């Protein structure tokens, strides 16, 4: 576990940076971040599975303006890495990976708020130079805040992984519910959040509900054929 900590911290830092600071190419979306973390551990498919479940939940929290939202980049790295360390997918592994991700995303959202407050403090300290049009002050502030964001994501991912990886192993040993039933609970919760988010997002668009139902019928027909 400890040998994985440094690469996980680096990945967490990079993907945490993508959430807001740079380059917002959505490599921090859970589907991508968890898969990359799984690949790092050596089991990308495990990362993809847990990433898909997290992506469904993340559909509810889109990064609108100054709103406060969970930080999925570092959080999905933790979940993807934890699930990938149990490639046989024993009962409880997915549940614990999702719980670890959600808890990390919650703390990550809080750290983002604190970082933004800190950025404001750094900007205020450079106010005179910024008002004087100092090129150095503008560039320095931008680079300082981005570096702090990278460190925030890296530390968060490392600490969360160090906490939840042993906790997950212990929980798996004591898990008493059937594996498929456990997984069904996870996806039921995740998909419910996704459907309710979609209903809220597309609420005002004419015909959206019928299109959703049409898609559902086609999706079910495909499953029947498969």
Partner 1 sequence: MSATALAPVPTPEHRTALPWRTQCAIFLRLLAIQGSWNYEILLGNGIGFCLEPALRLLPEGIHSDHFKQALARESKYFNAHPYLASVAVGALARAELDGEPPERIERFRTALCGPLGSVGDRLVWAGWLPFCSLLALAVFGLGGGPVLVLSVFLILYNLGHFGLRLWGLRTGWNNGLRVASALANPILRNGPEHIGRLAALATGFAIPLALYRVIGPGRVLLGGVLTAVLLSALLFVRLHGRMEGWRLSLFILAAFALFSVAH
Site for partner 1 in 7-26 (CB under 8 A): 20-26
Stretch touching partner 1 by CB under 8 A, among 3-11, 96-104, 155-163: 96-104
The answer to whether 136 and 147 have CB atoms below 8 angstroms apart is no
The answer to whether 69 and 63 have CB atoms below 8 angstroms apart is yes
Closer CB to partner 1, residue 44 or residue 85?
44
Q: Residues near 34 by Cβ (< 8 Å), separated by ≥ 6?
A: 47, 48, 50, 51, 54, 76, 77, 79, 80, 83, 101
Closer CB to partner 1, residue 1 or residue 185?
185
Scanning the chain, the segments in alpha helix (DSSP H) are 2-20, 30-41, 44-58, 72-84, 93-125, 127-131, 135-174, 179-201, 208-225
Stretch touching partner 1 by CB under 8 A, among 4-12, 52-60, 153-161: 52-60
Question: CB 152 → partner 1: shortest distance, Å?
Answer: 13
Q: b or e along 34-53 (b: 16 or more beta carbons within 10 Å of the residue's beta carbon)?
A: bbbbbbbbebbebbbbbbeb
User: Which string of x and - marks every residue 175-214 that binds partner 1 (by CB under 8 A)?
Assistant: xxx--x-xxxxxxxxxxxxxxxxxxxxx--x-xxx-xxxx
Site for partner 1 in 98-137 (CB under 8 A): 98-99, 102-103, 105-106, 116-117, 119-120, 122-124, 130-135
Distance CA(96)–CA(176), nearest Å, equals: 13
Mapped onto helix, strand or coil, the DSSP state of residue 24 is coil
Question: CB 173 → partner 1: shortest distance, Å?
Answer: 9
For partner 1 (CB under 8 A), the number of binding residues is 110
Distance CA(71)–CA(105), nearest Å, equals: 5
Stretch touching partner 1 by CB under 8 A, among 1-9, 40-48, 151-159: 40-48
Question: CB 11 → partner 1: shortest distance, Å?
Answer: 14
Closer CB to partner 1, residue 10 or residue 102?
102
Stretch touching partner 1 by CB under 8 A, among 3-11, 91-99, 153-161: 91-99
């Amino acid at each position: 576990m400890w040998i994985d900590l440094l690469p996980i911290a680096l990945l967490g830092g990079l993907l945490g940076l993508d959430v807001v600071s740079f380059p917002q190419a959505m490599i921090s979306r859970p589907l991508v971040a968890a898969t990359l973390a799984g690949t790092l551990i050596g089991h990308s498919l495990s990362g993809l599975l847990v990433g898909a479940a997290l992506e469904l939940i993340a559909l509810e929290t889109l990064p609108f303006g100054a709103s406060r939202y969970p930080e999925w980049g570092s959080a999905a790295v933790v979940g993807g890495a934890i699930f990938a360390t149990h490639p046989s997918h024993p009962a409880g592994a997915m549940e614990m990976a999702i719980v670890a991700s959600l808890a990390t995303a919650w703390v990550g959202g809080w750290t983002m708020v604190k970082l933004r407050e800190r950025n404001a403090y750094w900007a205020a300290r450079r106010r005179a130079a910024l008002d004087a049009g100092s090129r150095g002050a503008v560039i320095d502030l931008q680079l300082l805040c981005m570096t702090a964001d990278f460190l925030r994501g890296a530390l968060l991912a490392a600490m969360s992984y160090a906490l939840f990886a042993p906790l997950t192993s212990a929980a798996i040993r004591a898990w008493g519910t059937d594996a498929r039933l456990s997984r069904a609970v996870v996806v039921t919760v995740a998909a419910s959040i996704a459907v309710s988010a979609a209903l809220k997002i597309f609420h005002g668009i004419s015909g959206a509900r019928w299109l959703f139902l049409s898609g559902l019928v086609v999706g079910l027909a495909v499953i029947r054929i498969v």
